[in-house]
Amino acid sequence: MKLSGFNYLIGQGAENIWKNRMMAFASFCVLLVSLLLVGMSVLFYMNLNSMIGGVEDKNEVIVYMDEDTSDEELVEFQTQLAQIGNISKITFYSKEQAFEDLKTSMSDYQVLFDSLGDDNPLIDGFRLRIDDISTISTTIAEIEQLDHIYSIRAPMDFVNILTELRKIVTVIFGVIIAALFVISVVIVSNATKASVFARREEIMIMKYVGATNAFIRIPFFVEGMITGFFAGCVALAVTWFGYDSLVGLLTGQVDILSVIGMGSIISFQDLAWKVAVAYLLSGTLFGAFGSMLSMRKHLNV
Amino acid sequence: MIELKDVSVTYSSGVDALHNVNLKINDGDFAFVVGASGAGKSTLIKLILKEITPTSGTVTVNGYHLNRLRRRRIPALRRTIGFVFQDFRLIPSMTVYENVAFVLRVIDAPTKYIRKRVPYVISLVGLQEKAYSYPDELSGGEKQRVAIARALVNDPQLIIADEPTGNIDPELSYEIVKLLQSINEIGTTILMVTHEHTLVRQFGGRIINIDQGQIVFDEVIGGDLIREA
């Protein structure tokens, strides 16, 4: 095909949108709603996941050291801890600090501490923050291999609940998003089928005058692509505005924030590029291939 | 040239549409195909356009052996044929000019050639004043003339007109057949399917009568117009 012929077909695709504006608008609306349904659900899932992650980040494993561990051994122990993966933060918690903290938290029992004099019954320890709590057991097993450990305290119940919660949320949202995706595909395919059906006569005429399938398909492809691209643009704008408004609303609600944690809400700016690419790409591809696939049976003339 | 040898067509429903048909239409011929509804006229057209394949026998159109023709070669065959529908089948969103030019776009003709050829063909059918009108702004006769211009624009070897006068007034029907005759005079083969016996009697020429899937009459007769002359 010559370049002028190709340009003509691209032009025809763009022109067809205006000529068939009612059907094009219907396809645009269906694509927009489908993109918003799937997009918003994914964003909601990401935030929910982030909130669970926020709670998970509050995990703490404490490793208590043997009483007779020397300062050099403590330093070496810290180095060995740092070499174990999956630990995001290591804080040395000296027995002096622990004693001071205990005194502060039990200030009503000052007499008890007075009776101890200079004796400190507590032992040194390390506070650890675990990266991925779903593999905490493996990490603890690795720590247990090290010397000079008196005991390890890990929040296993907390970990088990969060791991299960994350699994449940992932499965539920996986099903919801997959279902919405399937529904969207069906709706988009029906909308494009209706749009193509309205122009089946045009396709048949093209076939009778000797048009190749590619010649017939390209304008439909371009038309679907442009419609899908604009649906993606509007979906992006709606999501951006809706998301930012919702985040703005939540930011003002101290009670809600104290429950979910401010840091757990993902800001749209962090996601803007990903959301934009996902919307524009899926809108364009959905539109283009939806049109092309829907017209297949009309080409058999 | 169209040649059918021992052609039979049986549809999957079991209907015998054509039975052992032998037909030869030479280059430059003008032939009327007549017959009652359901006689097999449409099946004959579908065979020529390679919309269907014969159950048995061979079909050759403009040098293409249709039994062996691959699907992707069908557009090439159809570019050698101009087709005129009973209900015009113009693309409503395109002007007269665009409807006619469209056929040349399909064959990837140069824009310069399209700009020259399309107004010429539109003027041949006498519609130069309506070149930028849309189909719904035209009368039935005008629409059919656009359809003929569209069939003619890429200079096909053969024009098939399927009941081209079916949707227009009798006076205009006469004009349409005259137009097809004048196209035939420049060498284009014309196959006109019709059930209007009056029109056929008026013009005369080669008449092919199909009845119950068989050719029952294939002769050249003199028309009233010829006799009057």
Contacts of residue A5 in chain B, CB cutoff 8 Å?
105, 108
Q: Which of A16, A201, A205, A206 to mutate to test the interface with B (most CBs of B within 10 A)?
A: A205
Contacts of residue A8 in chain B, CB cutoff 8 Å?
105
**Spatial contact of B150 and B100, defined as CB atoms under 8 Å apart:** yes
Cα–Cα distance measured from residue A170 to residue A147, given in angstroms and rounded to the nearest whole number: 39
Q: pLDDT value at position B229?
A: 46
**Spatial contact of A173 and A89, defined as CB atoms under 8 Å apart:** no
What are the residues of chain A with a beta carbon less than 8 Å away from any beta carbon of chain B? 1-2, 4-5, 8, 16, 19-20, 201-202, 204-212, 215, 301
At A75-94, the pLDDT tens digits run 999 999 888 888 888 999 98
Cα–Cα distance measured from residue B21 to residue B228, given in angstroms and rounded to the nearest whole number: 34
In 3-state terms, what secondary structure has residue A13? Answer: helix
Q: pLDDT value at position B63?
A: 94
Higher pLDDT, A187 or A69: A69
Q: Would you kindly state where each structural domain of chain A is located, as residue ranges? A: 3-56+161-299, 61-154
Q: What is the mean pLDDT of chain A?
A: 84
Q: pLDDT value at position A3?
A: 67
Higher pLDDT, B69 or A18: B69
Q: Which of A34-43, A236-245, A289-298, B54-63 has the lowest mean pLDDT?
A: A289-298
Contacts of residue A6 in chain B, CB cutoff 8 Å?
none
Q: What is the Cα gyration radius of chain A? A: 31
Closest-CA residue in chain B for A2?
Answer: B108
For residue B116, is pLDDT > 80? yes
Beta bridge partners of B189: B158
Q: Would you kindly state where each structural domain of chain B is located, as residue ranges? A: 2-80+156-228, 88-142
Beta bridge partners of A287: none
Nearest Cα to A92, choosing from A119, A117, A115, A69? A69
Task: Record the tokens describing residue B52, joined without a space.
Answer: 């269907």
Contacts of residue B103 in chain A, CB cutoff 8 Å?
209-210
Q: pLDDT value at position A216?
A: 84
Task: Confirm or reject contact between B136 and chain A (CB < 8 A).
Answer: no
Task: Confirm or reject contact between B150 and chain A (CB < 8 A).
Answer: yes
Task: Confirm or reject contact between B216 and chain A (CB < 8 A).
Answer: no
Q: Which one of A4, A205, A215 has the shortest CB-CB distance to B89?
A: A205
CA distances from A277 to A173, A273, A288, B121 (A): 21, 6, 16, 49
Q: pLDDT value at position A257?
A: 65
Nearest Cα to A14, choosing from A213, A224, A202, A217? A224
Q: What percent of chain B has pLDDT over 70?
A: 97
Q: pLDDT value at position B181?
A: 92
Nearest Cα to B199, choosing from B164, B217, B173? B173
Contacts of residue B81 in chain A, CB cutoff 8 Å?
210
**Residue B197, min C-alpha distance to chain A (Å):** 27
Q: pLDDT value at position B59?
A: 97
Sheet holding B2-10, edge to edge: B16-25, B2-10, B56-61, B64-65
Cα–Cα distance measured from residue B224 to residue B229, given in angstroms and rounded to the nearest whole number: 8
Q: Is B49 in Cβ contact with A208 (below 8 Å)?
A: yes
ipTM of the complex: 0.82
**What is the distance, to the nearest Å, from the Cα of residue B64 to the centroid of all Cα atoms in its chain?**
17
DSSP code for A267: P
Q: pLDDT value at position B27?
A: 93
Q: pLDDT value at position B128?
A: 93
Q: Which one of B72, B81, B91 has the shortest CB-CB distance to A205?
A: B91
What are A45-50's contacts with CB under 8 Å, separation 24+? A45/A169, A45/A173, A45/A177, A46/A266, A46/A271, A47/A264, A47/A265, A47/A266, A48/A169, A48/A173, A49/A166, A49/A169, A49/A170, A50/A264, A50/A265, A50/A266
Task: Record the tokens describing residue B33, joined without a space.
Answer: 């195909």
**Residue B78, min C-alpha distance to chain A (Å):** 5
Q: pLDDT value at position B6?
A: 96
Cα–Cα distance measured from residue A22 to residue A219, given in angstroms and rounded to the nearest whole number: 17
Task: Confirm or reject contact between B46 and chain A (CB < 8 A).
Answer: no
Task: Confirm or reject contact between B186 and chain A (CB < 8 A).
Answer: no
**Residue A33, min C-alpha distance to chain B (Å):** 29
At B32-61, the pLDDT tens digits run 999 988 899 999 999 999 999 999 999 999
At B90-107, the pLDDT tens digits run 988 889 999 999 889 888
Q: pLDDT value at position A263?
A: 63
Q: pLDDT value at position B16?
A: 92
Q: Is A301 in Cβ contact with B83 (below 8 Å)?
A: no
Segment A215-235 shows an average pLDDT of: 89
Q: Is A2 in Cβ contact with B108 (below 8 Å)?
A: yes
**Residue A256: band (very low, low, confident or very high) from pLDDT cuts 50, 70, 90:** low
Beta bridge partners of B23: B4
**CATH class of the structural domain A61-154:** alpha beta
Closest-CA residue in chain A for B104?
Answer: A209
Q: pLDDT value at position A1?
A: 62
**Fold that domain B2-80+156-228 belongs to in CATH:** Rossmann fold (3.40.50)
Please give the full DSSP string across A17-58, using - where no structure is assigned: HHHTHHHHHHHHHHHHHHHHHHHHHHHHHHHHHHHHHHHHTT
CA distances from A262 to A44, A133, A243, A265 (A): 15, 21, 15, 6
Higher pLDDT, A215 or B229: A215
**Residue A208, min C-alpha distance to chain B (Å):** 6
Higher pLDDT, A113 or A226: A226
